[in-house]
């Protein structure tokens, strides 16, 4: 770059304010529009809505201001490499220069992919991509909610494919699918259908585009809205190779908007074929049941009434013989018991005679062992005045003498 020639005379004297204003005018005139590539740092969002930050590289750093309302198609993060478009200006109150940004874009595909990978890991760690969270799609939805641009080809493709396959009611939530407000509008559409509960399934769709164009569908606000949806949600963003973060949070990922329409409803032909197959299976099962029932009926042997009566008579005869045997056994047992009872008096008499003889024998033994029998042989018992037997001559004075036929008292 050529060095600019000075245009201020050496002998001119300026006030601080005039000098600052002159410098501001020179800077803004020389740099009405400039693109700068660098890494973001010190990002601060003021209560006014303005964003203050720094763009830097290895050798320098420049202050940046993003006025409220300036469209930014992605979330500004520390360390993100961007290409910033804006104009240079100065801030006299602090004697510094800065850039007022009007556009911000990511610096190349590598930076975008790095940012997406870091965001993906963060959201996955929160469980937003867990397969257990995913809901099954309804078999035959009555109403389908579509979140997309009403003027884009995606919505027309979805409507055409639905009419071809299986016409259903479609509700559109119009949302921009590119630019700074796209992410918020898509998230609002998902939340709207969940709040109203007026659809059976939601399709979030957009046609193909560059990676930068599809970034709104990887914003956290969209991914969180998709993961929180209570209504089954299909993502149909871009083309087959395109993968946005909403694809991981959705209940079903379709490669294209047309693929989303194909996933949500079957074709009329496939339904006819399914009904035909069901009819074939049903009729086959019914025929098999009839054949089995017929075979069971044929296997039943129906007996004639005469044979049935004879069999019953035979059963009665068997029962009669069995009862006769039981009764005869009971009668015989009873006779034996009666015979035993009839012989009981003789047994009792014999028992009494035996007992009498035993008593007599015991009496004889008692008499033979009694001291009376000794006295009858000429012996006597001498007792003193206390009735104690005297067995020795010096044992005391005799008071009574007992003989076999009586007692003699001595005076």
Contact 143, 173 (CB under 8 A): no
Same domain for 92 and 135?
Answer: no
Same domain, 142 and 215: yes
How far apart, in Å, are the Cα atoms of 212 and each of 35, 117, 159, 187, 189? 18, 15, 27, 18, 21
CA separation for the pair 316, 332 (Å, rounded): 24
Flag whether pLDDT at 86 surpasses 70.
Answer: yes
The pLDDT, as a whole number, for residue 295 is 77
Tokens of 337: 């018991």
Confidence of residue 132 (pLDDT cuts 50, 70, 90): very high
Number of domains observed in the structure of the chain: 3
Q: How confident is the model at residue 257 (pLDDT cuts 50, 70, 90)?
A: very high
Q: What is the mean pLDDT of residues 158-185?
A: 90
Residue 299, in any domain of the structure: no
Q: What is the pLDDT of residue 227?
A: 95
State the pLDDT at residue 133.
92
Q: What is the rounded CA–CA span in Å between residue 322 and residue 312?
A: 15
Question: Is the sign of the CA dihedral 303, 307, 309, 314 positive or negative?
Answer: negative
Output 365 or 108, whichever has higher pLDDT: 365
User: Are residues 245 and 148 both part of a single domain?
Assistant: yes
Q: Give the pLDDT score at 190.
A: 96
84 within a domain of the structure (yes/no): yes
Q: What is the mean pLDDT of residues 87-113?
A: 81
Q: How many angstroms separate the CA atoms of 115 and 183, rounded?
A: 16
Residue 403's DSSP bridge partners are: 406
Domain stops at, among 266, 290, 316:
266
Of the chain, the end-to-end C-alpha distance in Å amounts to 183
Mean pLDDT of the 301-321 span: 75
For residues 397 and 403, give the distance between their C-alpha atoms in angstroms, rounded to a whole number. Answer: 18
What confidence tier does 386 reach under pLDDT thresholds 50, 70, 90?
confident
Residue 115 located in a structural domain: no
- Note whether 202 and 150 are same-domain residues: yes
Strand partners, 172: 146
Residue corresponding to tokens 């009669």:
320
341 — pLDDT class (breaks 50, 70, 90): low
Any idea what the CATH number is for the domain that residue 180 is in?
Answer: 3.40.50.2300
Same domain, 184 and 231: yes
Residue 1's pLDDT is: 56
Residue 394: domain span: 380-409
- pLDDT tens for 180-228 read 889 999 999 999 999 999 999 999 999 888 877 888 999 999 999 999 9
Res. 411: pLDDT tops 60: yes
Is residue 237 located within the same domain as residue 134?
A: yes
In this predicted structure, what is the pLDDT of residue 393?
74
Residue with tokens 């042989």: 377
| Structural tokens at position 235 | 């993502």
- Which tops the pLDDT comparison, 408 or 11? 408
Percent residues over pLDDT 90 in the chain: 28
Q: What are phi and psi of 34, to 5 degrees?
A: -150, 145
Q: Which residues contact 163 (CB under 8 A, 6 or more apart)?
A: none
Q: Which two tokens stand for residue 345?
A: 């008096």
Cα–Cα nearest to 406, from 374, 371, 367, 380: 380
Domain boundary among 266, 286, 317: 266
Contact 51, 65 (CB under 8 A): yes
Q: Lowest-confidence range among 154-158, 161-165, 386-390? A: 386-390
Give the mean pLDDT of the chain: 83
Q: Is residue 276 part of a domain?
A: no
For residues 73 and 200, membership in a common domain is answered with no
192 plus 228 within the same structural domain: yes
Structural domain ending residue among the three candidates 71, 106, 141: 106
Encoding tokens for residue 364? 């004889």
The residue among 267, 243, 260, 268 whose CA lies nearest residue 155 is 260
């Amino acid at each position: 770059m050529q060095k600019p020639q000075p245009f201020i005379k050496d002998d001119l004297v300026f006030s601080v304010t005039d000098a600052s204003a002159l410098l501001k005018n020179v800077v803004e005139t020389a740099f009405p529009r400039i693109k700068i590539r660098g890494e973001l740092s010190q990002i601060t969002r003021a209560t006014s809505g303005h964003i203050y930050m720094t763009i830097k590289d290895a050798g320098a750093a420049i202050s940046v201001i993003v006025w409220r309302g300036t469209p930014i198609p992605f979330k500004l993060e520390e360390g993100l490499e961007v290409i910033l478009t804006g104009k240079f200006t100065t801030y006299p109150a602090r004697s510094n220069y800065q850039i007022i940004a009007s556009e911000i874009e990511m610096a190349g595909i590598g930076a975008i992919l790095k940012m997406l990978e870091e965001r993906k890991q963060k959201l996955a760690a929160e469980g937003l991509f867990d397969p257990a969270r995913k809901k099954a799609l309804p078999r035959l939805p009555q109403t389908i909610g579509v979140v997309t641009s009403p003027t884009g080809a995606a919505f027309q493709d979805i409507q055409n494919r639905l009419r071809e396959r299986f016409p259903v009611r479609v509700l559109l939530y119009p949302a921009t699918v590119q630019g700074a407000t796209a992410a918020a509008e898509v998230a609002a559409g998902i939340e709207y259908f969940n709040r109203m509960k007026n659809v059976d399934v939601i399709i979030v769709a957009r046609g193909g585009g560059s990676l930068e164009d599809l970034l709104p569908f990887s914003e956290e606000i969209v991914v969180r809205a998709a993961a929180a949806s209570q209504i089954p949600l299909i993502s149909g963003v871009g083309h087959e190779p395109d993968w946005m973060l909403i694809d991981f949070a959705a209940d079903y990922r379709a490669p294209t908007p047309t693929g989303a329409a194909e996933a949500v409803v079957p074709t009329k032909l496939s339904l006819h074929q399914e009904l035909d197959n069901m009819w074939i299976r049903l009729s086959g099962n019914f025929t098999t049941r009839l054949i089995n029932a017929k075979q069971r009926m044929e296997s039943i042997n129906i007996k004639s009434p005469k044979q049935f009566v004879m069999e019953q008579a035979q059963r009665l005869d068997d029962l009669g013989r069995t009862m006769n045997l039981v009764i005869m056994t009971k009668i015989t047992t009873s006779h034996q018991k009666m015979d035993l009872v009839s012989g009981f008096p003789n047994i009792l008499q014999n028992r009494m005679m035996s007992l009498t003889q035993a008593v007599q024998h015991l009496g004889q033994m008692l008499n033979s062992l009694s001291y009376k029998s000794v006295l009858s042989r000429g012996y006597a018992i001498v007792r003193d005045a206390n009735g104690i037997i005297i067995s020795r001559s010096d044992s005391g004075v005799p008071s009574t003498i007992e003989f076999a036929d009586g007692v003699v008292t001595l005076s």
